[in-house]
């Protein structure tokens, strides 16, 4: 069982929430701690189960609410693959997602600025994009622990 934030992370959370006009609550703290503790792109259900270990009364609706709030404040990203359950990711650096066909695991893939640039360059004039989502589907041969997040 994990589930308490160090000062640094708590301050970050509080600040980001504040900017979005939201408050730091015990539930939000626990949910955020869950996301930071295990960066494996959990589903809402997975977050719920992990968070309940340290806060048994927590409700599923609250987990949905917390995650939505975090997305609104730019603290986490939603990750969708086809129509599977939405997953959540606290990695704010620009990155793509690689989904292992066999294990279902999702891995972050760093996105160098020049690749972002070449992607933006394919948009015809008049197309103005705020968000670019890139996802790979395939297999990972070596189960390289360095890239298992």
Partner DNA sequence: TTAAAGAGTTAGAATGAGTCTAAACTGCAA
Partner DNA sequence: TTGCAGTTTAGACTCATTCTAACTCTTTAA
Question: Which does residue 68 bind out of DNA, a copy of itself, none, counting CB within 5 to 8 angstroms by kind?
Answer: DNA
Q: How far is the CB of 50 from DNA (least distance, A)?
A: 14
- Rule CB under 7 A: is residue 28 a binding residue for DNA? yes
Distance CA 104, CA 110 (A): 19
From residue 81, how far is each of 22, 75, 115 by CA, in Å? 29, 20, 21
From residue 19, how far is each of 13, 46, 74, 75 by CA, in Å? 10, 28, 10, 11
Intra-chain end-to-end CA distance of the chain, in Å: 19
What would the x/- binding string for DNA be over residues 59 to 98, using CB under 7 A?
Answer: xxxx-xxx-xx-------------x-xx------------
In eight-state DSSP terms, residue 102 is T
Q: By the criterion CB under 7 A, which residues form the site for DNA?
A: 22-23, 25-28, 43-45, 55, 57-62, 64-66, 68-69, 83, 85-86
Q: By the criterion CB under 8 A, which residues form the site for a copy of itself?
A: 78, 80, 82-83, 86, 96, 98, 101, 107, 109-112, 114-115, 118-119, 121-142, 144, 147
């Amino acid at each position: 069982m994990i589930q308490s934030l160090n000062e640094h992370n708590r301050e970050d959370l509080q600040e980001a929430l504040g900017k979005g006009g939201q408050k730091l609550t015990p539930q939000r703290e626990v949910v955020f701690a869950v996301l930071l503790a295990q960066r494996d792109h959990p589903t809402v259900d997975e977050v719920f189960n992990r968070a309940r270990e340290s806060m048994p009364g927590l409700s599923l609706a609250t987990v949905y609410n917390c995650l939505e709030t975090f997305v609104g404040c730019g603290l986490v990203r939603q990750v969708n693959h086809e129509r599977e359950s939405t997953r959540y990711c606290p990695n704010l650096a620009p990155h793509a997602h690689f989904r292992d066909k066999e294990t279902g695991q999702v891995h972050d893939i760093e996105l160098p600025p020049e690749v972002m640039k070449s992607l933006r360059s394919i948009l015809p004039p008049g197309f103005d994009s705020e968000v670019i989502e890139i996802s790979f589907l395939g297999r990972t041969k070596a189960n390289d622990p360095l890239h298992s997040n």
